[in-house]
């Protein structure tokens, strides 16, 4: 089916107590692995490209690859911009055909983050495309536990942020850290629940490769509706390619190397979809038909907890 937006997908996840897996793609093999895994699990899926991935693979090439893969699939697929730290990057992705955007103003002072996020939501909503924003900051590896805590999203700021920006989902800093290679981050579940209670909108967990399985389950119960995985996929792709080269050091056909990496990525994604409760949920969309009604039809109050 054609690409869909993340709007209805995250509302369905919120209503039905699961999280949509959002998987970062860097090249063709990632795109194939993500969409094939979603098909096999009958799961809705968000395929996301970071600014780094766009620089590596090319904006139009990514859109073309993902569109073709989504159109051939029977499950709903979203193409999302991950960590767009620039207003113009968001505009370029909107124009190129992304069906979900993120403005990441987490390095900016509160008021600047609000101002630019608001500009992005205004233009994106005019085109029927939802926007994820970030409040607080999910840091990169190498930070101390004290630094992680200091950067966490403040529930008391969240309502004003969401009301002023009209963002459709919110990335929260609640204990996870980007690029962790082991699952040992501890989430502040109470904080997630509080932000969920105050804002009512779907919450997004970044840095989720480092979160424990228990953390996923508790986080989803508290209000997480989208879970971002990048590092674990990179580990899987590299692990598969290394294994293929070690198994037969004379191999020179790259398909025999990258193909094994692609299978490793697929295994990781399928396991995550089951953990997130997303497997089988594609049926919810087929039943009611997918599509985004746009701000004019779907107001902020529709996003509040029922």
Which residues of the shown chain bind Zn ion in the complex (CB under 5 A)? 206
Whichever of 144 and 301 has its CB closer to ligand G3H, that residue is 144
* Burial zone of 259 (CB within 10 Å; 0-12 exposed, 13-18 middle, 19+ buried): middle
Instruction: Look up residue 15 and give its two tokens.
Output: 């209503």
Whichever of 94 and 230 has its CB closer to ligand G3H, that residue is 230
User: Taking the complex as a whole, how short is the minimal distance between the CB of residue 17 and ligand G3H, in angstroms?
Assistant: 22
Residue 169 phi/psi, 5-degree rounding, is: -150, 160
User: Taking the complex as a whole, how short is the minimal distance between the CB of residue 178 and Zn ion, in angstroms?
Assistant: 5
Whichever of 22 and 298 has its CB closer to ligand G3H, that residue is 22
Q: Which residues does residue 185 pair with via DSSP β-bridges, in sequence order?
A: 211
User: Taking the complex as a whole, how short is the minimal distance between the CB of residue 138 and ligand G3H, in angstroms?
Assistant: 6
Please, what sign has the CA dihedral across residues 183, 10, 222, 169? positive
Residue 134 phi/psi, 5-degree rounding, is: -125, 135
Task: Look up 60 and say whether it is catalytic.
Answer: no
User: What angle, rounded to 10 degrees, do the helices at 254-276 and 213-222 form?
Assistant: 50
Contacts with ligand G3H by CB under 6 A lie at 24, 82-83, 178-180, 206-210, 228-232
Placement of tokens 């990048």 in the chain: 230
Task: Please tell me whether residue 253 adopts helix, strand or coil conformation.
Answer: coil
Which of Zn ion, ligand G3H, none has residue 227 at its interface (CB below 5 to 8 Å by kind)?
none
User: Taking the complex as a whole, how short is the minimal distance between the CB of residue 210 and ligand G3H, in angstroms?
Assistant: 5
Which of ligand G3H, Zn ion, none has residue 179 at its interface (CB below 5 to 8 Å by kind)?
ligand G3H
Is the CB of residue 185 less than 8 Å from the CB of residue 205?
no
User: Taking the complex as a whole, how short is the minimal distance between the CB of residue 226 and ligand G3H, in angstroms?
Assistant: 10
Catalytic-role residue among 82, 104, 168, 188:
82
The C-alpha atoms of residue 162 and residue 304 are separated, in whole angstroms, by: 12
Whichever of 121 and 231 has its CB closer to Zn ion, that residue is 231
Give Cα separations from 7 to 4, 14, 302 (angstroms): 9, 11, 11
Task: Give the residue numbers annotated as catalytic, written as ranges.
Answer: 82
């Amino acid at each position: 089916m054609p690409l869909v937006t993340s709007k209805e997908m995250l509302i369905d996840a919120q209503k039905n107590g699961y999280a949509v897996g959002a998987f970062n793609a860097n090249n063709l093999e990632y795109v194939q692995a993500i969409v094939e895994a979603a098909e096999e699990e009958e799961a809705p899926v968000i395929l996301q490209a970071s600014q780094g991935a766009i620089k590596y693979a090319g904006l139009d090439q990514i859109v073309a690859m993902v569109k073709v893969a989504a159109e051939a699939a029977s499950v709903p697929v979203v193409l999302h911009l991950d960590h767009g730290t620039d207003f113009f990057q968001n505009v370029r992705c909107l124009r190129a055909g992304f069906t979900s955007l993120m403005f990441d103003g987490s390095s900016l002072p509160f008021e600047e983050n609000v101002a630019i996020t608001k500009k992005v939501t205004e233009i994106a909503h005019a085109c029927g495309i939802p926007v994820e924003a970030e409040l607080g900051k999910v840091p990169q590896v190498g930070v101390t536990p004290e630094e992680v805590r200091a950067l966490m999203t403040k529930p008391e700021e969240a309502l004003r942020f969401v009301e002023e920006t009209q963002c459709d989902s919110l990335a929260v800093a609640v204990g996870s850290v980007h690029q962790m290679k082991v699952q040992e981050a501890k989430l502040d579940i109470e904080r997630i629940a509080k932000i969920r209670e105050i804002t009512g909108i779907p919450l997004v967990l970044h840095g989720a490769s480092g979160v424990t399985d228990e953390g996923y389950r508790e986080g989803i119960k508290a209000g997480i509706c989208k879970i971002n995985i990048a590092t674990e996929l990179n580990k899987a792709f590299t692990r598969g390619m290394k294994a293929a080269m070690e198994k037969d050091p004379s191999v020179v056909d790259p398909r025999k190397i990258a193909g094994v990496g692609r299978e490793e990525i697929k295994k990781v994604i399928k396991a995550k979809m089951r953990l997130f409760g997303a497997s089988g949920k594609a049926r919810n969309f087929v039943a009611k038909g997918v599509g985004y009604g746009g701000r004019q039809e779907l107001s902020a109050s529709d996003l509040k907890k029922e």
